[in-house]
């Protein structure tokens, strides 16, 4: 295991070098992508975060209270948005992070994947009455069409997303 510093928030993260080749590691605190090198350098898109095209193709988008309306509600008018409400201290949240990375990479522009840290974005977490994490929402046309509580396997999340395409 290597220790990598997050380029966005500076948190120290343990990264298994054997897994990096098939899964993209993310920071446990803020969700930003971690580079495969020991320095923890990630691309600008994962470190940037909140504007609609800033995450690049195939990466979860970091959403904040301030960007939620634009990056989730407005964006869901053109394509469904899977929003992961998570926290850095949550074990199940960290377990499903690579699954969400895979779903984002496989989206092909059909849907978006976004991440909202509930500890840092209390207004949005309260608005959607998040009491358990991970809680995932599927938004379509600015509305919640599905709420998923707890860590779910990739095929379950993919099937629920596919139902709203």
List active site positions.
Answer: 90, 93
CA 106/CA 60 separation, integer angstroms: 11
* CA proximity to 78, closest of 107, 118, 46, 45: 107
Strand order in 135-140's β-sheet? 61-63, 112-117, 81-86, 135-140, 143-149
3-state SS, 121-148, equals: CHHHHHHCCCCCCCEEEEEECCEEEEEE
């Amino acid at each position: 295991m290597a220790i990598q510093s997050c380029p966005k928030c500076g948190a120290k993260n343990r990264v298994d070098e054997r897994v990096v080749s098939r899964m993209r590691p993310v920071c446990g605190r803020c969700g930003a992508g971690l580079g495969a090198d020991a320095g923890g350098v990630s691309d600008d898109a994962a470190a940037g975060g909140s504007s609609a095209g800033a995450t690049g193709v195939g990466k979860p988008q970091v959403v904040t209270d301030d960007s939620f309306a634009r990056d989730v509600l407005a964006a869901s008018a053109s394509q469904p948005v899977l929003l992961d409400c998570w926290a850095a201290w949550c074990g199940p949240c960290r377990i499903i992070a690579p699954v969400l990375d895979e779903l984002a990479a496989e989206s092909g522009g059909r849907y978006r994947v976004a991440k909202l840290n509930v500890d840092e974005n209390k207004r949005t977490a309260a608005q959607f009455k998040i009491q358990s994490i991970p809680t995932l929402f599927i938004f379509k046309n600015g509305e919640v069409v599905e709420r998923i509580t707890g860590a779910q396997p990739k095929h379950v999340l993919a099937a629920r997303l596919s139902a709203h395409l």
